[in-house]
Structure 1
Amino acid sequence: MNSQEYKQFYDTVGALNGWDFSQIRCSSEGVEWDFYDQVSRLCTASDVLLDIGTGGGESLLSTASHAALLVGIDLSHTMVETARRNMQRTAISNVRFAQMEAESLSFPSEFFNIISCRHSPFHASETARVLTEDGVFLTQQVRECDKANLVQAFGRGQSLRPDGSLKEQYTKELQLAGFRNIHYAEYDAVEYYEREEDLIFLLKHTPIIPRFGQEKDDFRILQQFISDHRTDRGIRTNAARFMMIARR
């Protein structure tokens, strides 16, 4: 997908679902961390936090008690609308949501103590600009080898670059932006989707297989994939992630 196709995709998903995948029945082996748990651990009660690519705001709202003010931004206006609806269902008052591009942040310099970004592009120089001296930036991204057996089955995926390419790109960009002490971690976990509908929901609401359901052979391929990868625990695939933590 190009950037315009991604935006249209996220607008559609944002209106329907946000990033709420709680209804999916899925178990995992080998997950090394929970990203927003890592974010919460680095927060102090007086911090101002920015979450880039906040989606429906579900994860940011779950961390609201760990900082003084939290701001979630997303390029999709429907994601932001969903996030605001999600907040209205709570008693949380210290979270704000706004539609905004990551490469053009409408905030003063050195405004945030901590910035998080999960599974979303970011602009290293803009991130550095709005982060305080000695502020912390955390990002979790999807590795290129994620859902490898699905990508092989369908012959297309959200990334066909060699594994590690995005890590190298972001490392260089962060270094050029003045970040230091860049720590890196990765995992490649096994996932089991309990039911066919769980896997279909995932594929329809993420860009793992671009244009899933629009190609004439997609559901034939999916049925063969399920047959080939069904186990006693569920339909087997993988979840590959990396995390970077850096200080300005």
Structure 2
Amino acid sequence: MNGSEYKAFYDQVGKLNGWNFSQVKAASEGAKWDFFDEVAKRCKKTDFLLDIGTGGGEALLAIADAAQLLVGIDQSEGMIHTAAKNLADAKATNVRFVQMEAEHITFPPNFFDVVSCRHSEFCAHEVAKVLAPSGVFLTQQVSEADKYNLTQAFGRGQRSVIRSGTLKEKYLHELAEAGFADMQSYEYDAAEYFRTYEDLLFLLKHAPIIPNFGQSDQDFAILRDFVEVNQSAKGIRTNSARFMIVARK
């Protein structure tokens, strides 16, 4: 999917489920970090934080005490609508949500002390533009090997034919070109267990893991066979492959 296709997909899905993924019951074994814990660790109470691709804003609201001002942006109107509802429920006075493209961030130069981005596209030059000198950028992205047994079962997947490490190398190169000199990267590939068939089905219908999932009845037959093969006492086993980059301007 390209950027416009992702936007259309997520706008459609947002209208269907209100961006409530909390009902999905899954557990990971072997994850080396929690991304927003890592973000919070690098914030001072006086900092301004920008979160790119904030989605429904739940993760940003969970660390509202970490910084003086937290701003979440997302290109999807549906996501920002949900984030505004979550903000009203949380009653956080130092958090804002704005619909905005990652490729054209309209905040003033050097405005933010920390910029974060989880599982969303970003523009390295735009990040560098709005990040203060010595500011830090953190991003966590889905690695090519994510949900490997699922993409093998279906014979298709959003990154099933791309060499592992390609996306990380691309982002490191773009960040270097944008002027980031101090960069570190980390990876993990953790086991992930979905509690029930319905949990996994919800994820596949509401996230672009298997392109066009559900448009053919054969998809559901493949999924049933996958569950039978990968069922365990801990749940339905797949994997969660992630990488994180921490870069200082």
Q: Normalising TM by the smaller chain, what interval?
A: over 0.9
Please name the residue that 1:26 is paired with. Answer: 26
Distance between the aligned counterparts of 2:113 and 2:3, measured in 1? 29
| Structure 2 residue identity aligned to 1:210 | P
3-state SS in 2 of match to 1:44:
coil
Question: Tell me, which stretches of 5 or more residues in structure 1 are unaligned?
Answer: none
Distance between the aligned counterparts of 2:91 and 2:2, measured in 1? 38
Distance between the aligned counterparts of 1:16 and 1:34, measured in 2? 28
CA deviation digits over 1:124-152, x for unaligned, max 9?
Answer: 01100100000000000000000000001
Please name the residue that 1:205 is paired with. Answer: 206
Please name the residue that 1:181 is paired with. Answer: 182
Q: CA deviation at 1:242?
A: 0.2
Does structure 1 conserve the Cα–Cα contact (< 8 Å) formed by 2:191 and 2:238?
Answer: yes
Does structure 2 conserve the Cα–Cα contact (< 8 Å) formed by 1:115 and 1:131?
Answer: yes
CA deviation digits over 1:103-125, x for unaligned, max 9?
Answer: 10011100000000000000001
Please name the residue that 1:70 is paired with. Answer: 70
Distance between the aligned counterparts of 1:12 and 1:37, measured in 2? 30
Please name the residue that 1:230 is paired with. Answer: 231
Please name the residue that 2:218 is paired with. Answer: 217
How high is the sequence identity, in percent, across the aligned residues? 58
| Structure 1 residue identity aligned to 2:213 | F
Question: Tell me, which stretches of 5 or more residues in structure 2 are unaligned?
Answer: none
Bigger mean CA deviation after superposition, 133-142 or 97-106: 97-106
3-state SS in 2 of match to 1:89:
helix
Correspondence 1:144 to 2:144? yes
Does structure 2 conserve the Cα–Cα contact (< 8 Å) formed by 1:18 and 1:55?
Answer: no
CA deviation digits over 1:63-120, x for unaligned, max 9?
Answer: 1111111110001011000000111111201111111111100111000000000000
Q: CA deviation at 1:214?
A: 1.1
What's the RMSD between the two structures over aligned residues?
1.1
Distance between the aligned counterparts of 2:188 and 2:238, measured in 1? 14
Q: CA deviation at 1:19?
A: 4.9
Q: Give 1:154-165 correspondences, 5 Å limit.
A: 154-159=154-159, 160-165=161-166
Distance between the aligned counterparts of 1:237 and 1:146, measured in 2? 8
3-state SS in 2 of match to 1:10:
helix
Correspondence 1:101 to 2:101? yes
Correspondence 1:247 to 2:214? no
Please name the residue that 2:7 is paired with. Answer: 7
3-state SS in 2 of match to 1:158:
coil
Does structure 1 conserve the Cα–Cα contact (< 8 Å) formed by 2:19 and 2:82?
Answer: no
TM-score by length of structure 2 reads 0.97
Q: CA deviation at 1:5?
A: 2.0
The number of aligned residues is 248
3-state SS in 2 of match to 1:186:
strand
Distance between the aligned counterparts of 1:77 and 1:118, measured in 2? 18
Please name the residue that 2:125 is paired with. Answer: 125
Distance between the aligned counterparts of 1:4 and 1:27, measured in 2? 31
Q: CA deviation at 1:60?
A: 0.5
